[in-house]
Structure 1
Amino acid sequence: MLIFADDLGYGDLSCYGATKVQTPNIDRIAKAGRRFTDAHSASAVCTPSRYGLLTGEYPFRANNGKGIWGPCDHLQPLLIDTEKLTLGQLFKNRGYATAAIGKWHLGFGKGETDWNKPLRPGPLELGFDYYFGLPKVNSGFPYVYVENDGIVGYDPNDPISYDQPYSKTTTYPPEAGKKTINRIGGAKKAHAIYDDEKTGTLLAEKAVQWIDANKEKPFFLYFPSPNVHHPFTPAPRFKGTSQAGLYGDFIHELDWQVGEIVKCLEKNNLIDNTLIIVTSDNGGMFNRGGQDAFQDGHRINGDLLGFKFGVWEGGHRVPFIAKWPGKIPADTVSDQLISGIDMLATLAAVTGQNISDEQLADSINVLPALVDEPEVPMRESLVIVPRSAKHLAIRKGKWMYIPARGNGGFRGKPGTHGAGGPAAIFFVGNENSDIQKGKIVKNAPPAQLYNLEVDRNQTTNLYRKYPEVVKEMRNLLESTRSSSHPIKK
């Protein structure tokens, strides 16, 4: 069971120190399992992060080496080669029932997506027996649900078109955050079924129904919830339940979703034999919801530097919690370095499968970090993939090397949807030696080096103090980036 939240930051759960939101269901999983403090998403951006999670391959290697760097757009084809081993296929090969329920955002079909035809190839060609959810992202059209390979409520007599007038969809006040205006016409019935404030409840219900239907055999559920991506549209019963505005209320709905899934496992006497993992696709984004929550005293990424899209820790260091009764020691914390790309190799080990290095790509088996107390690092190095290709960075042990100035993500000023970078860092009160009054200083080093062992919040750029480390890290990054075969560890 892999629960994959959207834009959930390192500071967004009470078991990670949040005080303005309460996440009792996720906290109970942490209490009964292990919480990681140095876990990272495969990218600081949603689509490439999902690619890395499902394939075990760094997203900068995707697309014939061109990489996947940003969110999947409206008409992009399926971004994962159907010949590539994925988490869905991994479990299917072992005889598990498999489902993906939630946000997909990895494209459909070949060439430009034709929304009026079966959406194939898609999740069903990647090893999932069943799919239900949002085909793209909750902030972008087509604003429909997809089940397996078709739009829910699709009417061939009223197909999707790109002619005006565009079909009406649900709208919300500015405090709910940015939602792109619908740019397609037709499909009025399908659009009428789609409701942002009902999506969280619907997805939880679908997950519970699927578990109930497959409880007699081994199963793997991939649950990529759209919470807490903008727009922040929790069901009405969650509104006002947090102390961090709609952003916090949306977290509460996510926690409820987790609770519903856990209750279903308990009801079916499956809880003691199920591995549950809860993590996020990237760090929190400092958009309208994140800024409003900050004004209420909530820090979406804790004290970490940076936000979604960027290469600083706040963009990709994420919550990671694992519970497996009798296997993972309860109420434990690990500081092992792990990544979303490690799930393929790790879950292959869980299911007792021997997978070739080529199929495992960049994935490392970190199962010992979940179930034991290894004395050595499971992963010695890790490439960090932000929005900007020139900021592709590398971590080795305590060292983090970024081959450029700045964050490689959004750089807008607070008050804008794309707030980030030096201006946002200054606004929230973080310190960094390269930044003064919201701008990078003129004499700042051309690149960045941080000792995360003593400076997790990246206050001091050590680039000029340790030139030999810079050289070593630069060479390691280049060799990893240029290699045609994965470099393990």
Structure 2
Amino acid sequence: MTALVSKPKAKTPNIVLFFIDDLGYGDLSVTGALGYKTPNLDRMAAEGTRFTNFMAAQAVCSASRAGLLTGCYPNRVGISGALGPQSHTGLSQSEETIAEVVKAQGYATGIFGKWHLGSDEEFLPKQQGFDEYYGVPYSHDMWPLHPWQERAKYPPLHWIDGNKPGKEIRTLEDASELTPVITEKAVGFIRKNKNKPFFLYVPHPLPHVPLAASARFKGKSERGIFGDVLMELDWSVGEILKELKSQGLDQNTLVIFTSDNGPWLNYGDHAGSSGGFREGKGTSFEGGQREPTIMRWTGVVPAGRVSNKLLSAIDILPTIAKLTGAKLPKQKIDGIEFVELLKGDESKTPREEFLYYYRRNSLEAVRKHDWKLVFEHPGRTYEGSLPGKNGQPGPAPEDHQFPKALYNLARDPGERYNVLEQNSEIVAELEKIAAAAREDLGDDLQKAEGKNRRPVGTSGKK
């Protein structure tokens, strides 16, 4: 009798996840940027798939990162806004991150870049499933050189190595080391872990202001310092892709490139482009939440493809879990896995709906397929104000009153034509989605608490 021979277990992929800060939809040359080129990202798009309908979890730093790493709408896990260095709150240790999910599968885990989910030690990455951390704890404008004088009472900004403060970032010259140092650390992590599966998270702090580029790139673009910074970020992606190839890992690594939110438009020549979408960072319009997104996995993700299916950063965790054989978090998440779509099956539509929450817990819009219903709400607007120059911000009023409106994003991606009165049945359908969201997650504008929100982590410090 012939003995049965078991097949060797399929190798699970490495994951490299780039998360760029304040990158606009139009900030890559493959999406229309002018005055500089991003050849490595253009090549990554040619070798992989570009997702054109990919939403940040929320259009602001900490909330967006919480959504990415937990697979939840940020308000479900109690995170809103951009946590300051003295907030003494952060992502609760009861929440499970992508790092914790894959670590249980034997993955090495590393983060090099900006964390921004709590700067007290109990909230830092090593307490959230990461083996290694080297980066900055929050946005690098939260320092004594902040351009807004009334907010310039920040403590010194330090690199964090593991759990301990390292070198202080005192000047723009110091800040010019952000991209090269993070790149060097990420490349070193790949070399160190080339013989085991790994999850490498690279949340670059730039092009969030203040902008700074190393001597190698400063003055190299026709777009000023912003273009220089984008050229250096593109170089960083290229160095990491090159290292994957040199280590023979190219065929077994899923590389994801996306952003936390749209451009901070009132910074003018120091801000990016929303690519024609309405508004930018800090808003629930497409310019705030729709992100340039590329995914590449040689031989698995189709090359040169564009997918227009609706997806969100909250969908990355369940997708990685399925690819790696990991268990999903024990608590409820909102993400939907899109493995079959990722691998090229365009008949799949994993996500039909998306909720646009902002501020502490305000439901500002809901979407189903191409229809987006925006509720009356106060919010930030960049329109009608002259943007700033040379690193100084122009006005961006936070109390603009937006009216209720319905947009057909298939025909009107710029959200300019309110077709509310012509589509009462669609409005009614979207209102039902909103009612369910308010029952589940609440809505400050409607004074609804929500049944299934979880508390933010608190350190007890004052």
TM-score, reference length from structure 1: 0.79
Name 2:65's counterpart in structure 1. Answer: 50
Task: Indicate conservation of the 8 Å contact 1:344/1:360, yes or no.
Answer: no
Q: Is the 8 A contact 2:380 2:396 kept in 1?
A: no
Partner of 2:422: 465
Seq. identity, %: 38
Instruction: Please name the residue that 1:183 is paired with.
Output: none
In the aligned structure 1, how far is the partner of 2:355 from the partner of 2:131? 32
Q: Which residue matches 1:475?
A: 432
State the match for 1:161 in structure 2. none
Deviation digits for residues 396-417 of structure 1, max 9, x if unmatched? 1111111115654667822352
The answer for the alignment partner of 1:345 in structure 2 is 318
Pairing partner for 2:334 from 362, 376, 384 = 362
Amino acid in structure 2 at the alignment position of 1:85? E
Identify the residue that residue 232 of structure 1 maps to in structure 2. 211
Cα distance, 1:471 vs. partner? 2.7
Residue 292 of structure 1 aligns with which residue? 269
Corresponding position of 2:33: 18
The aligned residue for residue 331 of structure 1 is 304
Alpha-carbon distance in 2 for matches of 1:482, 1:2: 33
Question: SS at the partner of 1:61?
Answer: helix
The answer to whether structure 1 residue 452 and structure 2 residue 413 are counterparts is no
**Structure 2 CA distance for partners of 1:203 and 1:459, relative to 1, 3 Å:** same
Residue type of the partner of 2:305? T
Query: Is structure 2 residue 96 aligned with structure 1 residue 85?
Result: yes
The answer on whether the counterparts of 2:373 and 2:407 sit within 8 Å (CA) in structure 1 is yes
- Does the Cα contact within 8 Å between 1:387 and 1:409 map onto a contact in 2? no
* Structure 1 partner of 2:122: 120
Task: State the Cα distance separating 1:44 from its structure 2 match.
Answer: 0.5
With over 3 angstroms needed to count, the CA separation of the structure-2 counterparts of 1:29 and 1:292, relative to structure 1, is same
Question: SS at the partner of 2:429?
Answer: helix
Seen in structure 2, the aligned counterparts of structure 1 residues 313 and 345 have a Cα distance that, compared at 3 Å, is same
Equivalent runs, 1:373-452 vs 2, <5 Å: 373-387=345-359, 389-390=361-362, 392-405=364-377, 407-408=379-380, 413-416=385-388, 417=393, 419-420=395-396, 446-452=403-409
Q: For residue 333 of structure 1, what is the amino acid of its counterpart? A: V
Aligned equivalents of 2:188, 2:30: Cα separation in 1: 29
1:72 aligns with 2:72: no
**Which is further off, 456-465 or 251-260?**
456-465
Contact 1:248 1:293 in 2 (8 A): no
- Equivalence map 1:144-155=2 (5 Å): 144-153=158-167
Counterpart of 1:162 in structure 2 is none
CA offsets 1:64-107 (integer angstroms, 9 cap, x no match): xxxx3311111223521212221110110110000011001111
Is contact 1:412-1:419 (8 Å) kept?
no
Q: Supply the AA of the counterpart residue of 1:327.
A: V
Letter in 1 for 2:157: Y
The answer on whether the counterparts of 1:34 and 1:333 sit within 8 Å (CA) in structure 2 is yes
Matched-pair contact (CA < 8 Å) for 1:232–1:250: yes
1:393 CA drift (Å):
1.6
> Match of 2:230?
251
Q: Which residue of 2 aligns with 1:139?
A: 141
After superposition, residues 131-210 of structure 1 pair within 5 angstroms as 131-141=133-143, 142-153=156-167, 169-171=170-172, 195-210=174-189
- For residues 214 and 360 of structure 1, do their structure 2 counterparts lie closer, same or farther at Cα, with a shift above 3 Å needed? farther
Amino acid at match of 2:333: A
Cα separation, 1, equivalents of 2:192 and 2:49 = 29
Residue equivalent to 1:97? 108
Report which stretch shifted further, 330-339 or 445-454.
Answer: 445-454
Whether contact under 8 Å (1:388, 1:409) holds in the other structure is no
Equivalent pair of 1:412/1:420 in contact (CA under 8 Å): no
Distance 1:336 1:411 in 2: 29
2:76–2:452 Cα contact (<8 Å) kept = no
Q: Is the 8 A contact 2:20 2:205 kept in 1?
A: yes
RMSD of aligned C-alpha atoms?
A: 2.4
CA contact (8 A) 1:130 1:148 kept: yes
| Matched residue type, 2:26 | G
Q: Does 1:241 align with 2:220?
A: yes
Moved more, 368-377 or 45-54: 368-377
- Contact kept? 1:393, 1:401, Cα under 8 Å: yes
Quick check: which one's strand share is greater? 2
**Closer/same/farther in 2, CA of residues 304 and 52 from structure 1, 3 Å limit:** same
Aligned residues of 1:413 and 1:420 also touching (Cα < 8 A): yes
Aligned in 2, Cα 1:406/1:373: closer, same or farther, shift over 3 Å? farther
The structural deviation recorded for 1:309 is 0.4
- 2:119/2:138 contact within 8 Å kept: no
Aligned equivalents of 1:69, 1:284: Cα separation in 2: 18
Task: Give the conservation status (yes or no) of the 8 Å contact 2:55–2:290.
Answer: yes
Q: What SS does the corresponding residue of 1:241 show, helix, strand or coil?
A: coil
Change (3 A) 1:239 1:71: same
The Cα shift of 1:373 comes to 2.3
Q: Which residue of 2 aligns with 1:319?
A: 292
Show the counterpart of 2:6: none
- Change in Cα spacing, 1:411 to 1:106, as seen in structure 2 (3 Å) is farther
Gap runs ≥5 in structure 2: 1-15, 144-155, 441-450, 454-462
Does the 8 Å contact 2:116/2:138 carry over to 1?
yes
1:391 shift after superposition:
5.1
Contact residue 111 and residue 133 of structure 2 kept, 8 A: yes
| Cα deviation code 1:277-336 (max 9, x no counterpart) | 000001111132xx2268xxxx61111111100111000100110000111011100001
- Native 8 Å contact 2:24 2:292 kept in 1: yes
- Residues 246-296 of structure 1, C-alpha deviations (whole Å, 9 max, x = no match): 1111111111111111111122111121110000001111132xx2268xx
Q: CA deviation at 1:459?
A: 1.4
Structure 1 residue 463: Cα displacement: 2.0
Judging changes above 3 Å, is the alpha-carbon distance between structure 1 residues 257 and 312 closer, same or farther for their aligned structure 2 residues? same
- Which secondary structure does the structure 2 equivalent of 1:359 belong to? coil
SS in structure 2 of the partner of residue 95 of structure 1: coil
> What per-residue deviation string (whole Å, max 9, x for no partner) do you get for residues 464-487 of structure 1?
22233223212211212321459x
Any conservation in 1 of the 2:102–2:326 contact (CA below 8 Å)? no
